[in-house]
Structure 1
Amino acid sequence: MSNPRVWLVTGASSGFGRLMSELVLSKGDIAVATARKPETLDDLKIKYSPSKLLVLKLDVTHAQEIKDAFTGIQETFGRLDVVFNNAGYSTMGEVEATPEHVARTMFDTNFWGATNVSAEAVRFFREENRPAGGRLIVNSSEVGVHGLAGCGFYSATKHALEGVTSALAQELDPEWNIKITLVEPGTFRTEILAKLGEGYSHPAYTKPSLLSNVNRAALPDEKLMKQADTSKGVQKIYDLSLLPNPPLRLPLGKDAVAMVRGEAKSILEDAAKYESWSEGLDFDA
């Protein structure tokens, strides 16, 4: 593309967000990199001029900070081409073990925060861009398709995000030229993954054979669970942003593809096995 695109990347301090910000800049595009602690991006600010990189403080749990970020983009660049809606976090713990306030905080970030970013992105693409249009890439997870034992509430946040994003994509007027994709990464090597074992445990779930304990031991250990290269994954997401007709969902990583296939197979098998139970449920004529 001849003109550099303006990207908004949330959760840019580490992981997918940090690597996407670096890749966008290396491609000659413009990055608006946001983080709860913007000082974590000081090294990038030294390397790139303000015409290429705008660093903003953004805690997605604060609705006004989301609006302020989009206002700053409008005032600085006048347009926005791609939103990488990435901010989020996870913790491990059985459903019975995870404190409610921890689960609610996770929902505030992973669901409400991400959803508010998506809604503001759609508004900006429709009302601020001339011509209207833009790309919204929402970073979900393979556990948004199949819940993971030991990460029940994190899985729930991603399930909810998948549902609202799918509905949002259906609601858009095609004339607005807004493309939405849910990226569903599998197990990629990030700082977040290494910290997952620092969560919560329940005294009733002590057997090592229980799936929550198997997953707790395996997730942070690359020897027990194969981890994909995050840099390569981010490159694929960048490539996705260039597709004229992107998919609604992109499982990313061999484990994610296998999980989606397995979940789809299980759903279809159950539907076929019990299809007859739905017969005769109509009101009598």
Structure 2
Amino acid sequence: MIAWAHYPYQGRVVLVTGAGSGIGRATARAFLEQGANVAVLGRRPEPLQETVTGFDAEHVQVLATDVTDTDALERTVSAVTARFGRLDVVIANAGTSEPSRIDTFDATAWERLRSVNLDSVIQLARLTAPLLRTTRGNFLAISSIAGLRGDWDQFAYNATKAAVNALVQSLALDLGADGVRVNAVAPAFTVSRLTQERLDDPEFSARLLDRVALDRVARPEDIARAVLFLAGPDAGYITGAVLPVDGGTSASSGTPRPVKATRSPTRKH
């Protein structure tokens, strides 16, 4: 089991984008473990099938969908409601990242980042808000602490995530009177297929861990547990929040860790 706690998600319907790997996969499996019906979205069906392996087919729906294609996304949302009859929780997790420097950046690169990280979130919210009003449900975006601070060579990615954070806060105001809660989880550097190569670099890994109070890199399951809580009834008075799930990374002002600071004898990545 991913979560220690038990949540009342039996019979609830959850949609997770970018569910073929990493945070999306862990989140989808976490909801399935809690008894939810889960629709998993991603560009390729094979990784999505891996995500739902071991779970009853009655409770899963695999939908190969490009979230940047608005028409396809609309058909996908309709397919979820046709299958399960309702929608209770939407997890906008699909995202992408690439380095960006202002002197070499071009419109094509911006389009790639913006269309996945921001535009698809807006379209998903537009398509699902009427359904979430009916169930008094939850819309939750997987953002990043990159939307709260700057990073070297990542200005475009950070800009998209900052926009997601502001989007979440504004939608929380617009939808709150209808009983719909809108929040975001903001992870720091998390183990995934996309980040593993950098984590395998000992120098980079050591420098990264020097910024993390808990002295380890996040695992996708760490983020999934926070999502389960925020979308559940125990968080019923939380909306418009951007919750850092970052091991204390954003607690720092940027001052380096003292050389003689106490550290764990071993580091777990």
Aligning the two structures, in what range does the TM-score lie when normalised by the shorter sequence? 0.7 to 0.9
Shift of 1:254: 2.8
Paired residues for 1:138-177 under 5 Å: 138-174=141-177, 176-177=178-179
The 5 A counterparts of 1:1-285 are 1=8, 3-126=10-133, 129=134, 132-174=135-177, 176-194=178-196, 221-226=204-209, 227-242=217-232, 243-247=235-239, 248-258=241-251, 262=253
SS in 1 for 2:58: coil
Structure with higher Rg: it is 1
Q: Which amino acid aligns with 1:28?
A: G
Does the 8 A contact of 1:89 with 1:192 survive in 2?
no
Partner of 1:275: none
Deviations 1:205-226 (A, max 9, x none): xxxxxxxxxxxx89x9433212
Q: Which amino acid aligns with 1:235?
A: R
Residue 153 of structure 1 and its aligned partner are, at CA, apart by: 0.4
Instruction: Provide closer, same or farther for how the CA distance between residues 101 and 80 of structure 1 changes in structure 2, counting only shifts above 3 A.
Output: same
Q: Give SS of 1:79's match.
A: coil
- In 2, are the aligned partners of 1:187 and 1:255 still within 8 Å (CA)? no
2:173 aligns to what SS in structure 1? helix
Q: Percent identity?
A: 23
Gaps of 5+ in 1: 198-216, 264-285
Local SS of the residue matching 1:8: strand
Letter in 2 for 1:230: P
Aligned length: 236
Alignment deviations for residues 81-131 of structure 1 (CA, whole Å, 9 cap, x no partner):
1111100110113222333311211101101011111222212212xx3xx
Return the alpha-carbon distance in structure 1 between the equivalents of residues 220 and 47 of structure 2: 19
CA contact (8 A) 1:80 1:134 kept: yes
Task: Work out whether residues 189 and 229 of structure 1, in 8 Å CA contact, stay in contact via their aligned partners in 2.
Answer: yes
Evaluate the alpha carbon distance shift between residue 61 and residue 195 of structure 1 in structure 2; reply closer, same or farther with a 3 A threshold.
farther
Superposition TM-score, scaled by structure 1 size: 0.76
What TM-score results when the alignment is normalised by the length of structure 2? 0.80
Q: What is the SS of the residue equivalent to 2:62?
A: strand
Root-mean-square deviation (Å): 2.3
Unaligned runs of 5+ in 2: 1-7, 210-216, 255-269
Letter of the aligned partner of 1:239 in structure 2? F
Equivalent residue number for residue 258 of structure 2: none
